[in-house]
Structure 1
Amino acid sequence: MKLEVPHYIRVPASVGNVGPGFDALGLALQFHLTVFVEPASEWQVTVEGESVEDLAADETNRVVQMARLAAERWKVQLPPLRVEIFNEIPVQRGLGGSGASALAGFALASLFRRAQTQTQDYLNLAAEVEGHLDNVAASLLGGLVACYYASDGRLYALSGRVPRPVHVLSLWPPWKMETAKMRRVLPETYPRDVVVRQLQRVTAILAYWQEHDDVPPKDFFYDEVHQPYRLEKMPEVRRVIDLASSMGLPALLSGAGPAVAVLTTDAAAATALLERLARERTYRSWSWRFVRVDRRGLVVRPYRPLMKKRLLEAIQTSRPVTDTKVPAA
Structure 2
Amino acid sequence: MIISVPATSANLGPGFDCLGLSLDFRNYFCITNSCLQTIDIIGEGENFNKLKADNVFVKIFSENLKKMGISDRTFAFEFRNKIPISRGLGSSSAVISAALGMAHLLKYGKIDKQEILNLALQYENHPDNITPAIFGGFNVAVVDNGKVLHLKQNISDDIRAVVVIPNRAISTKYSRQTLPKKYTNTDSVYNLSRSSLMCMAFMQEKWDMLRIASKDKFHQYRRMKQYPVLFAVQKVALENGALMSTLSGSGSSFLNICFKDDAQKILKAMQARFSNFRVLDLAFDNQGLQIEKE
Fold shared by both chains (TM-score > 0.5): yes
**2:78 aligned partner:** 84
Picking from 201, 204, 208, the partner of 1:211 is 204
**1:254 aligned partner:** 248
- Counterpart Cα distance in 1 of 2:132 and 2:170: 21
CA displacement 1:184-215 (0-9 Å, x = unmatched): 11111111121112111122122123323646
Picking from 293, 300, 308, the partner of 2:291 is 300
- Cα deviation for residue 59 of structure 1 reads 5.8
Written as runs of structure 1 = structure 2, the 5 A alignment for 1:43-192 is: 43-54=37-48, 56=50, 58=52, 60-77=54-71, 79-114=73-108, 117-150=111-144, 152-192=145-185
2:7 paired with 1:41:
no
Compared CA separation, residues 27 and 147, structure 1 to 2 (3 A):
same
- Counterpart Cα distance in 1 of 2:161 and 2:270: 17
- Counterpart Cα distance in 2 of 1:39 and 1:19: 43
CA displacement 1:9-65 (0-9 Å, x = unmatched): 100000011221110011110011101211111112111012322365646222111
- AA of the residue aligned to 1:146: V
- Counterpart Cα distance in 2 of 1:47 and 1:241: 33
Contact kept? 1:43, 1:59, Cα under 8 Å: no
- Cα deviation for residue 274 of structure 1 reads 3.6
- Counterpart Cα distance in 1 of 2:64 and 2:240: 45
CA displacement 1:94-147 (0-9 Å, x = unmatched): 000011011111122113324855334322332221221111111100001111
SS in 1 for 2:20: strand
- AA of the residue aligned to 1:230: R
SS in 2 for 1:145: strand
Q: Name stretches of at least 5 consecutive residues in structure 2 with no aligned partner.
A: none
Picking from 5, 10, 23, the partner of 1:11 is 5
Contact kept? 2:7, 2:23, Cα under 8 Å: yes
**1:321 aligned partner:** none
Q: More displaced, 38-47 or 122-131?
A: 122-131
Compared CA separation, residues 155 and 44, structure 1 to 2 (3 A):
same
**2:234 aligned partner:** 241
Contact kept? 2:19, 2:141, Cα under 8 Å: yes
Q: More displaced, 182-191 or 115-124?
A: 115-124
Contact kept? 1:40, 1:82, Cα under 8 Å: yes
- AA of the residue aligned to 2:174: K
- AA of the residue aligned to 1:260: F
Contact kept? 2:34, 2:74, Cα under 8 Å: yes
Q: More displaced, 86-95 or 112-121?
A: 112-121
- Cα deviation for residue 90 of structure 1 reads 0.5
SS in 2 for 1:171: strand
Percent identity (aligned): 24
**1:286 aligned partner:** 277
- Cα deviation for residue 246 of structure 1 reads 3.2
- Cα deviation for residue 224 of structure 1 reads 1.0
Compared CA separation, residues 221 and 78, structure 1 to 2 (3 A):
farther
Question: How many pairs were matched up?
Answer: 293
SS in 2 for 1:82: strand
- Cα deviation for residue 170 of structure 1 reads 0.8
- Counterpart Cα distance in 2 of 1:98 and 1:12: 11
- AA of the residue aligned to 2:173: A
The structure whose residues are more often strand, as a share, is: 2
Q: Name stretches of at least 5 consecutive residues in structure 1 with no aligned partner.
A: 1-6, 304-329
- AA of the residue aligned to 1:191: T
Q: TM-score, normalised by structure 1?
A: 0.82
- AA of the residue aligned to 2:259: T
- Counterpart Cα distance in 2 of 1:87 and 1:38: 17
Compared CA separation, residues 44 and 149, structure 1 to 2 (3 A):
same
Q: TM-score, normalised by structure 2?
A: 0.92
Picking from 266, 269, 272, the partner of 1:273 is 266
